[in-house]
């Protein structure tokens, strides 16, 4: 074989390899572009920290998994170490979608622009006031000037509702925050306070040796429950899809099972006016952390910038 022929063959082989590499590179580039354009948008879903973060993640993740199937979005679970931190993040608009208590919704709808998406269907939220079984107190009026224990300022059913209703009835009391529902019941049982706020669920699950020393003096009226609301930066098309997925959860066995583990039956479409019953309580000055958060403006970002 002559040097000239060998050179021509090498040149041809090099050319073919070069073309193949170029075609493969273009194919990979086109595939990456396609994947990028079809990739679901990740939405951060914040959940009010009623329980430990690990517990909340375990309960909500199955719901997110069902909703994200064959969807143009993926939901990323998020929460906070405590309620004040959650409130600050709402005030800064950190969550694309959030599950928040009724008071949170009324505050952060006005200050940040969160809009109602869905709420639990057929659900009302209530608080209770408990006293010692042998307490002479038989009516709310007899709580005048007494010390009442509550879990925390922003505990809606166990603190905000009892306090707001006492305020509406012009009954002045002294407030002591003790950190948890269980601590409220203990403080009342031990006679450290005259009464305390809680909810039926925690009262029923409390140690019977404690609750047998107590009685429920009063149950608050029912109010619109927690809201699932979205930040105004989220595109309307995505929100409509999220809402539809939530409303359709009960149409599959997986969805029903996920909701049941969460303790929900089903969702229904919600609107801002659904929480007018909470607004009528006049809660503007009830929780200092919320008031501080209310004054902060949430930072809006376009979805393209995220």
Report pLDDT digits (tens) over 146-175. 999 998 887 889 999 999 899 989 999 999
Residue 292 has pLDDT above 60, yes or no: no
Model pLDDT for residues 217-228, shown as the tens digit of each residue: 999 999 999 999
Rounded (to 5) percent helix, strand, coil in the chain: 50, 20, 35
Which residues touch 73 (CB under 8 Å, ≥6 apart)?
A: 40, 41, 42, 43, 238, 241, 242
Show the domains of the chain with their CATH numbers: 41-123+224-284 (3.40.190.10), 127-219 (3.40.190.10)
114 pLDDT more than 90: yes
Q: What is the average pLDDT value for the chain, to the nearest integer?
A: 83
What predicted TM-score, i.e. pTM, was given to this entire model? 0.70
Task: Bin 213: left if φ > 0, else alpha if -120 < ψ < 50, else beta.
Answer: alpha
Average pLDDT over residues 252-276: 95
Are 45 and 32 contacting, i.e. CB atoms less than 8 angstroms apart? no
Q: Is the pLDDT of residue 279 over 70?
A: yes
Question: What span, in angstroms and rounded, lies between the C-alpha atoms of 231 and 93?
Answer: 7
The per-residue pLDDT for range 170-201, each reduced to its tens digit, is 999 999 998 788 889 999 999 999 999 998 87
pLDDT at position 303 over 50: no
Q: Percent of the chain, pLDDT > 70?
A: 80
What is the Cα–Cα distance from 278 to 223, expressed in whole angstroms? 7
DSSP assignment of 104-139 equals HHHHHHHHT--EEEEEETT--B--EEEEETT-S--S
């Amino acid at each position: 074989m002559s040097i000239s022929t060998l050179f021509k063959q090498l040149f041809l082989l090099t050319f073919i390899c070069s073309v193949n590499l170029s075609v493969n590179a273009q194919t990979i580039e086109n595939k990456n572009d396609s994947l990028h354009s079809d990739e679901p948008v990740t939405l951060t879903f914040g959940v009010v920290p009623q329980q430990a973060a690990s517990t909340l993640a375990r309960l909500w993740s199955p719901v997110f998994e069902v909703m994200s199937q064959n969807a143009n979005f993926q939901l990323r679970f998020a929460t906070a170490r405590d309620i004040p931190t959650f409130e600050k993040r709402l005030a800064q608009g950190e969550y694309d979608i959030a599950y928040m208590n009724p008071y949170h919704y009324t505050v952060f709808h006005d200050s940040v622009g969160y809009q109602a998406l869905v709420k639990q269907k057929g659900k009302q939220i209530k608080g209770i006031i408990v006293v010692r079984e042998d307490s002479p107190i038989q009516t709310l009026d007899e709580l005048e000037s007494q010390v009442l224990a509550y879990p925390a300022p922003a505990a809606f059913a166990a603190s905000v509702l009892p306090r707001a209703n006492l305020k509406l009835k012009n009954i002045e009391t002294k407030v002591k925050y003790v950190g948890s529902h269980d601590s409220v019941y203990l403080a009342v049982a031990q006679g450290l306070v005259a009464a305390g706020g809680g909810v039926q669920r925690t009262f029923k699950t409390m140690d019977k040796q404690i609750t047998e020393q107590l009685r429920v003096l009063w149950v608050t009226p029912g109010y619109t429950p927690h809201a699932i609301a979205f930040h105004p930066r989220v595109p309307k098309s995505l929100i409509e899809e999220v809402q539809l997925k939530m409303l359709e959860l009960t149409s599959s066995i997986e969805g029903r099972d996920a909701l049941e583990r969460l303790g929900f039956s089903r969702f229904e479409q919600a609107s801002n006016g659904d929480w007018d019953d909470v607004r009528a309580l006049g809660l503007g000055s009830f929780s200092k952390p919320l008031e501080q958060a209310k004054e902060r403006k949430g930072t809006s970002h376009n979805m393209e910038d995220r």
